[in-house]
Amino acid sequence: MTQQLSDQVLFEGAACDLVCWAGGALFDPFAHGLEPVRNYTALDRGWLVHYRVDARLWLDELMLDHAVSAPSAKKPRLGAGPAINGVAPRCDRERGFSSCYSGLGLLLDFGGGLLIGDGDACERPGRGSPPAWNYMRLRELVFIDGHLIEAVDRSDIAAALRERERRFGDARRIMADPAADAWRRAFAYDYRFWE
């Protein structure tokens, strides 16, 4: 698997990677009449999203290739998707997507937690997505019905796991072990980011 592109979350002026989430669903393009096509090995699910968080969770930008013919076809025909929140998509050849939605300002009623990270503390893996402890700053954002109710810095746990990985190469294994129960309980949700 190729290294995956990460959704972005703009929080307190910093563009962060969305490491993982738990709780409810975030954004479902199919619910908006979209048929995403997987055209890039670095984007397995077929779409890329930029969120923004202030007191609420917003979807600001969405990029995807939209199939206007059956997505199951060997090579579906791509085109513009339907308007979302009054915003029509545009084709962005520079980014390589047939449907780019900018300035969506779509409020999301997400209930759950997001783990966001910024600042690479070590080299990113060549495949898949970087683990949560790869980030210098790891934060947990907790939402009820799209309202931010808590933002907690979890960088100390990320640093301890980085050190564990550096010394013993077993950060994933130790997080699944009962010995790491206090670290797991520190989070509002079970993100299972070590799997």
Q: Would you kindly state where each structural domain of the chain is located, as residue ranges?
A: 27-107
Q: Is the dihedral of CA 72, 36, 100, 80 positive or negative?
A: positive
Residue 28 tokens read as: 């479902």
For residues 3 and 40, the answer to whether their CB atoms sit within 8 Å is no
Phi then psi for residue 164, to 5 deg, are -60, -45
Cα angle 135, 123, 159; round to 5: 35
The β-bridge partners of 45 are none
| Closest residue by Cα to residue 146 from 119, 111, 115 | 111
53 vs 27: CA distance, rounded Å? 14
Per-residue model confidence as pLDDT tens for the chain (195 residues) = 577 889 999 999 999 999 999 998 899 999 999 999 888 888 888 999 999 999 999 999 999 999 887 656 677 888 899 999 999 999 998 888 999 999 999 999 999 999 999 997 666 665 567 788 889 999 999 999 999 999 999 999 999 988 988 898 888 888 778 878 888 899 999 888 776
- Amino acid present at 8: Q
136 vs 159: CA distance, rounded Å? 7
For residues 63 and 48, the answer to whether their CB atoms sit within 8 Å is yes
Residue 85 tokens read as: 């929140």
Supply the pTM of this predicted model.
0.90
